[in-house]
């Protein structure tokens, strides 16, 4: 959990980062930005910090010889010596510019901030914020002159829509810091990773969110790839395992692999099949096998929609099954040459 009730913005720099691949330029401010009005500072804090609400954290990846002068090293210099803030803000902007080569990456204003007294998971620490605004919107400005009104348009940044953001908290430095990110303009697949991988060089931390996410992904893949009609598993049986899996994660605070196998898979042959699949899945995806961990409610909520039990019948019907799989039967009508489901229920709502 992240809190900013006590947070204070003590240093602030603005630069412009264009698309290097399209021949645009990077422009640096001559000096740190000085606020003339407290309202402007508070508005910027709202713009920068409001989107950071989840417990999904990242950390810097390991630097290699080519990436010695990377964002990781620049923010470490700032935490060590706050007087180096402005010079390092320009280095960070230059780093982003050097990685902005895809033709669909938009140029935009680039902000670096130093924030004092943030609270992350109960720990008080400083943070460095890195943000970029890429999209402009049109606003109306209305002026009254005596008995008449005038209307003008102006392009500006919507303070409720942060395009890209990153908060690096000065904690767990030996593990690559604790980092939270926002990326609301990553819909272009080819350019989606330039912010997290090419520029920041970060990876997801192996914490409760990470472990919960990976185990749910393993369960989903197991159901989709193993519990199939080709393997003589009825669709309703597959949905039953999916529902048991989600129920397990929703009702517990901690995960234990043996409890999970007994309560969700139950049948010995299913338990063995899941063990084999999980081992192969972890090897192929380079995952560490973890058998006990704290469950992240955020990860469970994010994955719930992917674990829904839905039967899609051609393009005519979608049947959502929330429970009582013994109340649904599959059959085949030989006269019509069509499959059918029979649903049993007590009352219609």
Per-residue pLDDT of the chain (349 residues; tens, 9 = 90+): 899 999 999 999 999 999 999 999 999 999 999 999 999 999 999 999 999 988 889 999 876 555 568 999 999 999 999 999 999 999 999 999 999 998 889 999 999 999 999 999 899 999 999 999 998 888 888 988 888 888 888 888 888 889 999 999 999 999 999 999 998 865 665 566 889 999 999 999 999 999 999 999 999 899 989 998 888 888 778 888 888 998 999 999 999 999 999 999 999 999 999 999 999 999 998 888 899 999 999 999 888 776 666 667 777 676 766 666 666 777 777 887 888 778 777 777 7
End-to-end CA distance of the chain: 39
How far apart CA 17 and CA 108 sit, in angstroms, is 6
- The per-residue pLDDT for 9 is 95
Q: Is 179:60 a contact under the CB 8 Å cutoff?
A: yes
- Specify which residues 332 forms β-bridges with: 339
Residue 181 parent element (H or E): strand 178-183
Return the structure tokens found at 118: 């943030």
Q: Is 152:140 a contact under the CB 8 Å cutoff?
A: yes
How far apart CA 304 and CA 318 sit, in angstroms, is 17
Q: What is the reported pTM?
A: 0.78
124 by DSSP, 3-state: which? strand
How far apart CA 28 and CA 37 sit, in angstroms, is 23
How far apart CA 147 and CA 160 sit, in angstroms, is 33
Q: Is 211:290 a contact under the CB 8 Å cutoff?
A: yes
In terms of C-beta distances under 8 Å and separation of at least 24 residues, what long-range contacts does 46-51 make, across chains too? Answer: 46/159, 47/157, 47/159, 47/160, 47/162, 48/111, 48/113, 48/129, 48/131, 48/162, 48/165, 49/4, 49/7, 49/129, 50/160, 50/162, 51/162, 51/165, 51/182, 51/184
DSSP class of residue 52 equals -
């Amino acid at each position: 959990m992240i809190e900013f009730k006590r947070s204070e913005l003590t240093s602030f720099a603005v630069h412009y980062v264009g698309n290097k691949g399209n021949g645009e330029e990077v422009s640096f401010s001559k000096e740190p930005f000085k606020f003339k009005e407290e309202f402007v500072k508070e508005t910027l804090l709202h713009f920068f910090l409001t989107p950071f609400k989840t417990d999904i954290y990242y950390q810097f990846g390991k630097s290699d010889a080519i990436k010695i002068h990377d964002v990781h090293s620049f923010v470490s210099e700032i935490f060590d010596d706050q007087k180096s803030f402005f010079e390092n803000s320009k280095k960070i902007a230059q780093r982003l510019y050097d990685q902005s080569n895809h033709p669909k990456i938009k140029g935009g204003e680039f902000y670096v901030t130093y924030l004092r007294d943030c609270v992350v998971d109960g720990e008080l620490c400083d943070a460095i914020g890195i943000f970029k605004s890429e999209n402009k919107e049109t606003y109306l400005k209305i002026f009254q002159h005596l008995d008449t009104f005038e209307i003008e348009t102006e392009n500006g940044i919507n303070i409720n829509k942060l395009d890209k953001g990153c908060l690096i908290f000065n904690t767990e430095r030996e593990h690559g810091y604790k980092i939270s990110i926002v990326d609301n303009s990553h819909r272009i697949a080819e350019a989606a990773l330039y912010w997290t991988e090419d520029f920041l060089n970060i990876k997801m931390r192996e914490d409760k969110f990470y472990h919960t996410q990976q185990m749910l992904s393993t369960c989903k893949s197991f159901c989709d790839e193993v519990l199939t009609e080709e393997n003589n598993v009825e669709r309703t049986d597959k949905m039953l395992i999916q529902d048991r899996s989600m129920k397990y994660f929703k009702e517990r605070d901690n995960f234990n692999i043996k409890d999970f196998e007994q309560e969700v898979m139950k049948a010995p042959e299913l338990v063995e099949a899941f063990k084999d699949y999980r081992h192969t899945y972890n090897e192929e995806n380079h995952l560490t096998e973890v058998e006990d961990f704290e469950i992240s409610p955020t990860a469970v909520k994010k994955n719930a929609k992917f674990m829904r039990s839905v039967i899609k019948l051609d393009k005519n019907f979608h049947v959502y099954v929330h429970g009582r799989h013994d109340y649904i039967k599959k059959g085949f009508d030989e006269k019509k040459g069509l499959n059918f489901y029979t649903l049993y229920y007590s009352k219609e709502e």
